[in-house]
Structure 1
């Protein structure tokens, strides 16, 4: 067992290279293709998963997909088209303004499952949805099909009203709002993409007609607006709408769709990336990633010199930047859904790290870039993120999905409910766990390439080649590949993962040597019946944070390890985050038996901890990152560290409810409302709301007994004048006197007993003039005065 350290969250482990100067990424497309050769994935319909955790995941997902009622997902579509609904609408996001996005993901997932398994029940459902959407379009008479809603004159109405306002040039945008609608074009894209997937995987001609109708309706709006007006629309999150138009062009050859795809380029975000500039700090992460997938597809369908630089170049620079400078050890990115400063991750570990949608989209982007270049480093990342993030998202028993994957010590995963969540990550989760076979097998001309060692079989019908691969991956290091059928000699290329220092190979039971080219073992002229045994030895290693080499995470081969801190449904049994005290990070770590389980031994504090694969600790509280101390450092730091940790634990234990201001989902969960000028602000990794002339308000839960309202303000914001009201009663006239000495100013306000009779309170910040004070967070805290942090 080898043990070594490589600095950086992903840069050392995945071998990501830096392409940071303007234009270099575009040149790399040609350079890498010349060195490695472009590659193509085999169609999902030619791949079948064999017994493994990946097949189990697909089977679990199938059960959930079949439990859903398409008519309930179609409720608003039918209603707004004048068709009597056939089922009651679902809850969660499907009962809110973003209704309809789940149907698009659902149709994509059905189509993918049919391609992955051949189970006709999923094709039949997808075909039926296409026909319902065609009827919806006929009801509207103009190609529109949607389920979003918007408030107008105190009533909830068909979200189509937003699109018609855009047609007239009435455009009002914010990060997630478009004319007061919740990401309507984002939702429209999901329906569009679902139709395209049904056409591709289910040979669904009606779905193509639906996609064309959707494209035409929105296209007539875009075509009637100026470029500046289109750019104003694109300020609001719009998903991968540019990708769908590029894909429709590829399917139909109609240049109209290509022109619209080119116009749907969000210049404010994409132009800096094309010029090699990272301006991602403070931006909502998953709003951006689909824009780059769209550029990648645009380059593929129209590979002009301009698209080579502006589209391919931007996509490659973005991928390098995100994986190198903005990603955590599991391959996921973002905290509270947002990018922060590049390579500043040590202070961004929380319970809302790594949104699942982000990795779903980063894997899609990785497939495009690998296809152009054949560069194995894209699959070093893909393997890391798919195994450690995507496979951690779905609970293997219930099939429910997580939204975030918390990397702060002591947190567990929060899952969706079967019919009352329908978050964005439920939608992308439906897709992610329908297609685990889509990136295993590739080919470069006639050479078969294996990029992921997931048990599976390939049926290359055009060449008369059938191959079976059986592995214990990721828990075992041995792979057996059996060339079952071949009408002619077959060449293979087997990716050597960067975590594997010394692969070993045997052919038909005999040791063999293979040329390694660009990190692929090249095996030529194989014949039917040949059996290849590949061993990919795994070793224990660790990575440190790019901005703090004393914060580390452990890995074994491709698997991120985490300490088991007990079941998620029980209170934490530790009052401070575990640390490692040793001369070096590897000292004393020992493997337990033959499994990927390791004991940290006596150097872990507060007690000996066991490290296990992170992804399958579905019901545990975990610790992924550890602060490392030498014995001398710990002697000096122990007393203060433990006192601070105890204070934090006590504050957390007394917290009743918390809202992060300026964050979309927390605000929606707490019934946020306010005057239009109380916009969001961004300050490094933190977002908030500004107290302006007017008000904003929200609800917070309370409980019997003494309760305090704890407010986190921006530190420099002092000498202000505004009011805080609770349930309509004045609580305090706040002036924030004093000199700013910290970045965050935390103030606690005791709540009068007569306000604590209900289950929640309404907290309102109100000002008679613009005060320009930023509120980051508010929480209700039980008991005495909440400690400062």
Structure 2
């Protein structure tokens, strides 16, 4: 089994395209949030001078503690991506001010960390790991042992199954990370306290995932989708540290469950108050609800899970899920508002949907939004120190240190609006290695490779990567062609529905101006041959219909009505 490594934030730079635009927009927004606004409630509670605006919504409830850890991590990672000293200063300043307020409040009823601070603590611990790695913040190394001791001595150990009110079962990942970085045995021992074996066992033993019901938490008929998916990042980190095959088997089994039962055309999962549910309940939720996918949190959890699985197994297929989420979730999110409103739920309702920022301000998704976006560069490439693995097709520049020299790989593409991507190599001297390419699951034909103008026959390796192994030289140029077409997805393959339409990895949502839904007036399962390009990339008109057209889901703006899924599993409309 080939073990891979992710490249760091510093190694990959996004270039012209939607991904770069998304990253830049996010960084401008979050760097524009005033430190005084972020710290106002904490300073006020601590009796300090507290200038700034009073954030409302969820921020008021937590006094900022539920978000500050994620934001410190985000600013530290922004510094790693950009080298902008302002990002580093912001991350460190927020950390120091948090601890100043903490000391003043630690013996009061308004203390910033307490026995139920699972969520805030875990984010804050990861933030200090990021401060140490990316910002060279010396005080982080001093705080980590104290934080580990706090977890062991102060935070509760009830560990109730399914309790998404605390999300205790996500604690282990950051604790294992602290052990990995600082070598603290206490952190490893603490991580084991919060391992979620009761849930992971269901997948390790191939049991019915719905056989156990949550015993505590909110909306607890089924397990909370985001946090239970996120718990497997702790499972993955446990495997990375301990190499116990239990964890990898459970992890792979959970991934298979998600692909077979939960994941929709967009890559999203967990509708109806964020539940992992049987297929028939998900289909019901697509009929009745507008809370189809907790977009920011769910994407961030999935991106990390995908990276772990790709690294551990050396297999390419996990990138297919990441690709769907990149284009149909992260890049399909409308801009946030200045008062902290974000797309919390993506809406896939089969009877009409639209994109709307959640009316509650500063929700948990405003914490994970920057983390999900800044993860994009790390989704693109992997290495095993010998070969290069290309997982995503996006304009980018990679700096790869291999065998003592820096190899620069520049990828230029308008994918998915075009079906080609070009790779240019810059290197001092010739090197023998393989470039291994993910073959997407939506390919409409054989993937083609052209090197320096000459078509070549590439082999597929045992893990499933399309492989080109040769002696590479400076200025070598590779052209990839990834044949694409419009195709129809069925969420339930046995029922052949509900259905959605995609071009390659991109979901095409319907702009329909007729009455009821498209499926009430035509058999949408027969639409693919009738969908004709309009001349604008990924836009389609339908033969014989003036009231129906399709365009990429990522192009829809706020309040624009669309139909993403079509309720063909309930009925098929008259064929007109």
**Fold-level match, TM-score > 0.5?**
yes
Aligned partners of 2:106 and 2:466: how far apart in 1?
Answer: 54
Q: Is the counterpart of residue 69 in structure 1 residue 34 in structure 2?
A: yes
Match of 2:470 in 1: 524
> Secondary structure of the equivalent of 1:44?
coil
Matched, 1:610 2:513: no
Counterpart-to-counterpart distance in 1, 2:56 and 2:253: 39
TM-score (norm 2): 0.88
- Cα distance change on mapping 1:191 and 1:79 into 2, 3 Å: farther
1:38 and 2:3 correspond: yes
* Of 257, 277, 282, the match for 1:340: 277
Structure 2 equivalent of residue 512 of structure 1: 456
Q: What is the Cα deviation at residue 487 of structure 1? A: 3.6
Match for residue 188 of structure 1 among 102, 109, 121 = 121
Q: Are 1:200 and 2:133 counterparts?
A: yes
Give the one of 240, 243, 266 matched to 1:330: 266
Quote the offset at 1:59 in angstroms: 1.0
Q: SS where residue 621 of structure 1 aligns?
A: coil
In structure 2, the partner of 1:563 is: 510
Which of 447, 465, 481 does residue 503 from structure 1 map onto? Answer: 447
CA contact (8 A) 2:70 2:124 kept: yes
> 8 Å contact 1:42–1:438 — kept in the other structure?
yes
Superposed CA deviations along residues 116-152 of structure 1, whole A, max 9, x for unmatched, are 222221112112222223434544679xxxxxx9xxx
Could you say which residue in structure 2 is the equivalent of 1:741? none
Contact in 2 for aligned 1:585/1:628 (Cα 8 Å): no
Matched residue of 1:608: which SS?
strand
Contact residue 376 and residue 519 of structure 1 kept, 8 A? yes
Equivalent position to 2:335, from 392, 395, 399:
395
The answer (yes or no) to whether the contact 1:360–1:390 under 8 Å persists in 2 is no
- Give SS of 1:563's match: strand
SS at match of 1:609: strand
Q: CA deviation at 1:361?
A: 0.4
Match for residue 158 of structure 1?
110
The structural deviation recorded for 1:446 is: 1.3
| Preserved CA contact (<8 Å) 2:495 2:569 | no
- 1:279-318 alignment runs, 5 A limit: 279-280=209-210, 282-303=222-243, 305=244, 308-309=245-246, 311-318=247-254
Which residue in 2 is equivalent to 1:493? Answer: 436
Deviation at 1:334, TM superposition (A): 1.0
Cα distance, 1:232–1:591 mapped onto 2, change above 3 Å? closer
Residues 130 and 210 of structure 1 are in contact (CA less than 8 Å); yes or no, is this contact kept in structure 2? no
Distance 1:535 1:54, change over 3 A: same
Contact 1:71 1:87 (C-alpha < 8 Å) held by counterparts: yes
Q: 1:370-519 alignment to 2 at 5 Å?
A: 370-395=310-335, 401-408=342-349, 409-415=351-357, 421-461=361-401, 463-491=405-433, 492-500=435-443, 501-517=445-461, 518-519=464-465
Is 1:598 equivalent to 2:540 in the alignment? yes
CA 49–138 in structure 1, closer or farther in 2 if over 3 Å, else same: same
Pair 1:552 & 2:529 matched: no
- Paired residues of 2:497 and 2:569 also in contact (CA < 8 A): yes
CA offsets, 1:605-651, max 9 Å, x none? xx531111112213321111124599x9645x99xxxxxxxxxxxxx
1:56 aligned to 5, 15, 21, which one? 21
Please report how far the alpha carbon of residue 290 of structure 1 lies from its aligned counterpart in structure 2 after TM superposition.
2.0
Task: Assess if the C-alpha contact under 8 Å between 1:113 and 1:435 holds in 2.
Answer: no
Q: TM-score of the superposition, structure 1-length normalised?
A: 0.65
Q: Decide whether the 8 Å contact of 2:132 with 2:141 is kept in 1.
A: yes
Whether 1:272 aligns to 2:202 is: yes
Match for residue 543 of structure 1 among 455, 471, 489? 489
Q: Distance in 2 between matches of 1:504 and 1:584?
A: 30
Give distance in 2, aligned partners of 1:65 and 1:557. 32
Contact 2:229 2:301 in 1 (8 A): yes
Equivalent residue in structure 2 for 1:352, among 291, 295, 300: 291
CA contact (8 A) 2:270 2:276 kept: yes
Q: Which moved more, 1:465-474 or 1:503-512?
A: 503-512
Distance 1:587 1:48 in 2: 39
Distance 1:363 1:78 in 2: 34
Q: Distance in 1 between matches of 2:231 and 2:174?
A: 11
Look up the match of 2:193. Answer: 263
Deviation at 1:578, TM superposition (A): 1.8
Query: Secondary structure of the residue that 1:481 maps to in structure 2?
Result: strand
Give 1:559 deviation, angstroms: 0.7
CA distance in 1, matches of 2:392, 2:36: 37
- Determine which structure has more spread, i.e. the larger CA radius of gyration: 1
**Does 2:60 correspond to 1:117?**
no
Alignment partner for residue 59 of structure 2, among 67, 70, 94? 94
Shift of 1:95: 0.6
- CA distance in structure 2 between the partners assigned to 1:291 and 1:441 by the alignment: 24
Q: Give the corresponding residue for 1:219.
A: 152
Deviations along 1:642-666, one digit per CA (max 9) or x if unpaired, are xxxxxxxxxxxxxxxxxxxxxxxxx
Higher strand share: 1
- CA displacement at 1:433 relative to structure 2: 2.0
Distance 1:99 1:467, change over 3 A: same
Cα 1:617–1:397 shift into 2, 3 Å:
farther
The answer to whether the 8 A contact 1:345-1:545 is kept is no
Measure, in 2, the Cα distance between the counterparts of 1:92 and 1:286. Answer: 21
TM-superposition CA deviations, 1:50-76 (whole Å, max 9, x none) = 111111111111111121112322234
How far apart are residue 405 of structure 1 and its match? 0.5
Number of residue pairs the alignment of both structures matches: 549
Alignment deviations for residues 559-618 of structure 1 (CA, whole Å, 9 cap, x no partner): 1111124xxxxxxx554122142683433222222621112333x6xx531111112213
Distance 1:487 1:124, change over 3 A: farther
Distance 1:115 1:553 in 2: 38
| Alignment partner of 1:624 is 2:568 | no
* Higher fraction of helix: 2
CA distance in 2, matches of 1:102, 1:123: 18
Shift of 1:489: 0.8
The structural deviation recorded for 1:82 is 5.5
Match of 1:366 in 2: 306
1:423-478 Cα deviation digits (max 9, x unpaired): 11111112122332111121123111111111000112453211111000221111
Q: Give the CA RMSD over aligned residues.
A: 2.9
Is the 8 Å Cα contact of residues 495 and 519 (structure 1) preserved in structure 2?
yes
